[in-house]
Amino acid sequence: MRITTTACLLLLTLGLGANPVPTPIIPGFGYRVHDVERPHPEKVTGVSALHTTAPSDATVLFDGTSTDAFVKPWPIKDGALVAAPGYLQTKEHFGKCQIHLEYRIPAGREISGQKGGNSGVFIAGKYEIQVQESHTNVTYADGQAGAMYGQYPPLVNPCVEQGEWQSYDIIFEPAKFDKESKELLSPAVVTVLMNGVVLHHAQPFMGLSTFRQVAQYPKGGVPEKGPLKLQWHNDPVEFRNIWIRDLGEYTRK
C-alpha cells in the first residue's frame, strides 16, 4: 500500500504533530524514519491471539490479579491492566529472555494514525516493539503494530479486529560491548511473533529505539539487562497474561 503526499502530510499532522523538518534517511534504505511512503506489509488473515499458559520456569508478571512485579502498577479492570499515565515497569531487570503478553485496544475507540490505540513494549527498557491498532488503521510502516519502532516494519500484518485480543511472543538477545573499549561487538537481536505469525526473525536492532531519529548505540555501551516496560501513550490499551523467561540462566549442555 502506498500513500499520497497529501495523506502523508495529514498523517504526520495527526500522528506526529505538525513538524516541517523531515526526519533523517535510514542508512541502507531509501526511506526516512517514520516515512509514510515506506511500503506497508501484506495483510494475513485467519489468525487469532495465542493465550499461552506460563511455563513452570517463567516469571509471571501479571496473571490478572497481582501487580507486585511492577514499580508503579496500572489499574486492573476485568482481569486486565489498563494503560494509565507513566510507564508500567518491572522491578526485576532482564537481559536474554522470552516474553509473552496479550493486548487489546477497546472496541469502538476512535483511532487515527498514531492516536487512539498506541502503546509499546520496551525490551530491557530500551528496544521498542510497537503496540497499535493496525487491522484497518493506517500509519507509517515503522510505527504500525509489531514494528521495531522507527527501524523495521513487520514482515506481514496479522492484526485482528479492534476489540479482540492480540498476542506477542518475543525472543530477545541483548547487545554485546567490549568490556575495555566499550565498542559494539554485536547488536541486540529480536524474534517477534504476533498471533502466532513471525514478524521478525533474528532481526538486529539498529540501535536504541527513538523518535524521529536514526537509531544508534551509545559509544559508552548499554547494560545488557533492563526492566520490561509498557508505554503509556494517552490511550487506555489493555494488557493481560504477561510472563517472561530469563534465558540467561540456561547454558546448552
Q: Which three cell numbers stand for residue 210?
A: 527513538
For residues 171 and 192, give the distance between their C-alpha atoms in angstroms, rounded to a whole number. 7
SS3 content of the chain, % helix, strand, coil (to 5): 5, 35, 60
Q: For residues 55 and 27, which has the higher predicted lDDT (pLDDT)?
A: 55
pLDDT value at residue 226: 97
**Percent of the chain at pLDDT exceeding 70:** 92
Residue ranges covered by each domain of the chain: 5-249
Count of H-run helices and E-run strands, the chain: 1, 16
For residues 36 and 13, give the distance between their C-alpha atoms in angstroms, rounded to a whole number. 12
- pLDDT tens digits for 5-30? 334 434 443 344 444 578 999 988 88
pLDDT value at residue 142: 95
- Selected from 2.60.120.560, 3.90.650.10, 3.40.50.280, 3.40.120.10, the CATH number assigned to the domain covering 5-249 reads 2.60.120.560
Q: Which three cell numbers stand for residue 23?
A: 526526519
| CB burial of residue 131 (10 Å; 0-12, 13-18, 19+) | buried
Q: Residue 249 pLDDT > 50, yes or no?
A: yes
Q: What is the mean pLDDT of the chain?
A: 91
Q: What are phi and psi of 12, to 5 degrees?
A: -65, -40
Q: For residues 8 and 118, which has the higher predicted lDDT (pLDDT)?
A: 118
pLDDT value at residue 16: 46
Q: Residue 96 pLDDT > 90, yes or no?
A: yes
Residue 140 contacts residue 35 (beta carbons within 8 Å):
yes
DSSP, res 115 = B
Question: Nearest 5 degrees, angle CA 158-CA 241-CA 75?
Answer: 110
What is the CB-side half-sphere exposure of residue 116 using CA atoms within 13 A? 19
